[in-house]
Amino acid sequence: MNFVTLQFAFFFLAVLGGGWVLRARPLVYRRFLLLANLVFYASGGWYFLPLPLLVSLIVWGTGRRLGAGSSRSCVFAAGVALCLFTLGLLKYYEFILQILNDLLAWCGSGAFSPAALADLPFPVGISFYTFQGIAYLVELRRHPEESPRSYLEVLTYLSFFPTVLAGPILRPGEFFPQLEQVPGQGAHLAEGASLILGGLFKKVVLASFLSEQVVAGVFQTPELFASPAVLIAVYAYAVQIYCDFSGYTDLALGVGRLMGFDLPQNFRAPYLSLNIRDFWRRWHISLSMWLRDYLYIPLGGDRGGMGALCRNLLITMLLGGLWHGAHLRFLVWGLLHGLALMLLRLARKFRPAPPDEDGQMPGKLTPARFCSWFLTFHFICLAWIFFRAEDLSTAWIIFERLFFWGRPGEGVPLLALPAIAAGLGLQWAGPGLRDSFMRFQSRLPWPVQAALCAFLAGIILRLGPEGTLPFIYFQF
């Protein structure tokens, strides 16, 4: 069920109304929320529903065994392995089969393709709730004094409908205390509404326009477009993926606030970063922190010298790239970011950064800060080419058009330029605009607030294209 549909609007109003009626009965409310989660997830296809039930069963059973004083390391490893096996079977089986077939062809044997796996549908959100389940097990192993949760509590945590499809990736400590408090419904109307309206504008107006009018055509057949058009499309995709994903996050956070849940921020002006490390502190923050806490640090982090640090960074970013999809281009994208982080750490070893070169734009504008921002932003944009292109050969054609300037071809709509500028400008002005709107809203009676938000949402939806484009991160 897409957030940008009337179907979801009616569903959410029903959830809000039911939560308001049941707010005085915490146990009944939690069961009602679980039912809403399952209905929401099943709306994308009933055949998907057994998967969160299965992953929750694995996580709950492993947690119970950890709490029973069993051989903690073996039980923990088995639980994590089962979670990863489920994820790998359904998300990476084609990738694994392709590697096996290539190896068989190299050895002179015939290829194979098991019929049982040929038509498996891709379950949306599986990467997100699988990572949440692993986070639950890691935290339970690190804190054995914590009591394991019941199966229904674990299932509610993994299937929480505002975040189940595309995050943010919740930690147990961010969710369970709020679930136990049974938050008041609609207590944060101004904040929730401002987040939802901002998310709608990013997704429906900016991301959809750039996707349909610029990015799709250029990235599908880059050889038909002139070099300036390809460059604009590269910038357009950087803005599109930001507006699309951060727009979804704003919608999820806004829906959560209206329900009384305070969900973690997932974006913080990433394109204003002055270096690649700061970018990963501001882009998809919940995934970045998950990779840091549950992969990079257990690998050894920065312990063991510069060689170990570089190895751990590369492994972390390669697996982070693979998390996004079973394709070589995602590995290349992860490798580029891993190499950039590694080179930054090597450079900082010999020349620590002055205080004014760490952080993000805007700030005191100096030549050094501007050069740092310019290089970081363009590295990110160029790396996105591998993320978006259908395959590596298409990516190379795009690079050829960029670096062998002057190739003739078609152009792109001029409206792409103000759309790109608006997407970048929101990272600088967005928080201030949201705060101003919230202050204005808070002075109005709640019926007027609701009417004004409905009116603005209608205008935003009218500005968007016909139909509803899926969110980019639904495929992950």
End-to-end Cα separation, the chain, in angstroms:
16
Rounded distance between C-alpha atoms, residue 341 and residue 331, angstroms? 15
- Residue 164 CB contacts under 8 Å (≥ 6 apart), including other chains: 37, 40, 41, 52, 125, 128, 129, 158
Q: Give the pair of three-digit tokens for residue 262.
A: 């305070």
Judge whether 324 counts as a catalytic residue: yes
**Which one of the listed residues 143, 188, 284, 324 is annotated catalytic?**
324
Active site (catalytic) residues: 324
